[in-house]
Structure 1
Amino acid sequence: MATVKNEYSERLRAVAGLMLAVAGESVSMVKRNAPDKALKLTRRTEWDVYLEFLKIFFNLADRFAALHIPVSDHAEFMDSLVDEVISQLKTALEPAFGANSDQMEIVMTIAGAVGESRRRYEHYKFMVNESSKVKDDMLKEFGERVADMIGAAGNLQVASAATLCAGAVLPAMSAIFTGEKPQESTPPSAGRAASATDVSREKSAGRPTGNEIKLVSVMASVSGEEVETRWGLHPRFKRDLNPEELQELTKLMNRVTKIVGERYAAVAFSQEWASWHVSGHA
């Protein structure tokens, strides 16, 4: 397994970081779409929702790996991805639990999440890089499950938000597996997932929903005492820009990234950071 980890180490780090970041962002988005329920959610429920997002992300990563990782390496790659997710999650939760605490529960929890992911989603047969009704059905079922978990069963607004958040990871994960890494970037973040209000506006405007494309993304991550913030462009969008436009956009996005990084650092090392992680926003 060491050989596989070395060969795919960059890809493993990128996919794991993407999964954890989008899962945390998605929990926040779900809560925003159910403010009445959010006030009553326990930390345990938030953590369970966070894990639910990781479960579907593991399934999607497995499907991408089947397309882009040799069959001989596929099983070890997925085992290594589990290890990488556990490692990054331990690092993220360390401020809350302490550097010398026993975090075996995290290992067992993630391992259980992977097993549950297989049982729950493997029966859906579809190509992850193609649009299909089966894929839409899986994401829809997932959204409904999340709504039920927070006590909002039947709430289309919450279910739609969860579905869109889960779907938002697809182009970013695809870019990692295909090697499309603009700006020598880390995995593009899912950005701001559309809320149900956004969906309603699109419907009223006669625009189709569920086909949003993230053209620009900004990713901030913390490791130990270091904060790193990077940005990236959708590869096709980048190709459409002429050199002058790309230069101007680069200048603007560098400024944006600096502002975002400074703000993220201020929050990451604040007193509230530990409780933020425990609440499921690793």
Structure 2
Amino acid sequence: MPTKPHPFAQQMQTVAELMLAVSGESVSVIKRAAPEQALKLKSQDEWGIYLEFLRAMFNLTDRVSALHIPLKEQPQFMDELTDTVIDQLKKALEPAFGAGNDQMEIVMTIGTAVSESRQTYERYRFLVTEDSKAKNDMYQDFSDRVARAVGAPGNPKVTAAATLCIAAVLPALTGIFEGQAPPVTADATSGATADSTSVPPRGATGADIKLVSVMSSIKGEEVETRWGLHPRFRQDLTQEEAKQLTATMNRVAKILGERYAAVAFSDQWASWHKAGHA
């Protein structure tokens, strides 16, 4: 008898594509944030950074999926997501390994990454819908691990870039489970390597990278609106351009913050605003 497909099979496929794409693109972003260290990186080092992003994203996906998938089906979803990530990575690396070769090492590597994801990040207790110290602590732990992996421990540019990349995954994951199109369309393996074997170069589809972000959050009866820039984008701006952008974004943050406050504290959204951010 044919096996019944998982009811969230489409989301599973899309999430796997997102995870591999973000991991690959993030390796490139991290290398640009630390160009001197990037020149010294070996293929195994890049693979380690790639896997660190996968570990964090498995954990975030586990948290997001728990809000959208029935409790009894969620463990099966995560198990099958692991298999889907493995299958996609096998296909992506097939030109390097050769068709028909035993790729058990990939299976074991991803399986280990999932296990390490739980051991490393599950201890941080937070809801993905809220801004909290625990979430920030997890991001800090993750970004510190990436900085050490790139050979630049404590480098603020690397940690900021790593945090920006992983934080952008949450809204993308939420959008996928809510039926929206994913924002990342890059080749899933760009920037990643397996052992000493090179992965095919990035495809022509490119990727969307968030250059400017704005967030409003509620603390008690107060609304705080913040904005930020991608660290590489900030470096590319002249002093005058940075000044003009700052003035513009301060106005944007003021307008959006006032609008958010008006909506969040209305009777219609009284329960929704408890989520803590928009």
What is the TM-score of this pair, normalised by structure 1? 0.67
Alignment match, 1:52 = 52
Structure 2 residue identity aligned to 1:25: E
Shift in Å at residue 168 of structure 1?
Answer: 1.0
Shift in Å at residue 6 of structure 1?
Answer: 2.9
Structure 2 residue identity aligned to 1:78: M
Shift in Å at residue 19 of structure 1?
Answer: 0.3
Q: Are the aligned partners of 1:12 and 1:81 in contact in 2 as well (CA < 8 Å)?
A: yes
Q: Which one has the bigger helix percentage?
A: 1
Q: Are the aligned partners of 1:26 and 1:193 in contact in 2 as well (CA < 8 Å)?
A: no
Structure 2 residue identity aligned to 1:32: R
Alignment match, 1:264 = none
Shift in Å at residue 95 of structure 1?
Answer: 1.1
Alignment match, 1:71 = 71
Q: Residues of 2 paired with 1:121 and 1:199: CA distance?
A: 30
Q: Residues of 2 paired with 1:130 and 1:174: CA distance?
A: 13
What are the Cα deviations for residues 3-55 of structure 1, in whole angstroms up to 9, with x where unaligned?
4x432110100000000001000000000011111111000000010000000
Q: Residues of 2 paired with 1:164 and 1:173: CA distance?
A: 15
Which region of structure 1 is more displaced relative to structure 2, 33-42 or 128-137? 128-137
Alignment match, 2:93 = 93
What are the Cα deviations for residues 125-149 of structure 1, in whole angstroms up to 9, with x where unaligned?
1111222222122112211110111
Distance 1:193 1:35, change over 3 A: farther
Shift in Å at residue 203 of structure 1?
Answer: 8.8
Q: Are the aligned partners of 1:13 and 1:84 in contact in 2 as well (CA < 8 Å)?
A: yes
Shift in Å at residue 103 of structure 1?
Answer: 0.4
Between structure 1 and structure 2, the one with the greater Rg is 2
Distance 1:26 1:138, change over 3 A: same
Alignment match, 2:214 = none
Structure 1 residue identity aligned to 2:159: A
Q: Residues of 1 paired with 2:131 and 2:177: CA distance?
A: 18
Q: Residues of 2 paired with 1:159 and 1:45: CA distance?
A: 17
Alignment match, 1:144 = 144
Q: Residues of 2 paired with 1:142 and 1:49: CA distance?
A: 11
Structure 2 residue identity aligned to 1:15: V
What is the TM-score of this pair, normalised by structure 2? 0.68
Q: Residues of 1 paired with 2:135 and 2:242: CA distance?
A: 21
Alignment match, 1:165 = 165
Shift in Å at residue 191 of structure 1?
Answer: 2.1
Shift in Å at residue 62 of structure 1?
Answer: 0.1
Shift in Å at residue 198 of structure 1?
Answer: 3.4
Structure 2 residue identity aligned to 1:112: T
Alignment match, 2:209 = 192
SS in 2 for 1:172: helix
Shift in Å at residue 122 of structure 1?
Answer: 0.5
Which region of structure 1 is more displaced relative to structure 2, 161-170 or 194-203? 194-203
Q: Residues of 2 paired with 1:168 and 1:203: CA distance?
A: 23
- 1:229-268 superposed matches below 5 A: none
Identity %: 52
Structure 1 residue identity aligned to 2:231: A
Identify unmatched segments of 5+ residues in structure 2. Answer: 185-206, 212-229, 254-278
Tell me how many residue pairs correspond in the alignment.
202
Alignment match, 2:220 = none
Shift in Å at residue 192 of structure 1?
Answer: 1.4
Q: Residues of 2 paired with 1:203 and 1:110: CA distance?
A: 42
Distance 1:95 1:73, change over 3 A: same
Structure 2 residue identity aligned to 1:132: S
Alignment match, 1:30 = 30
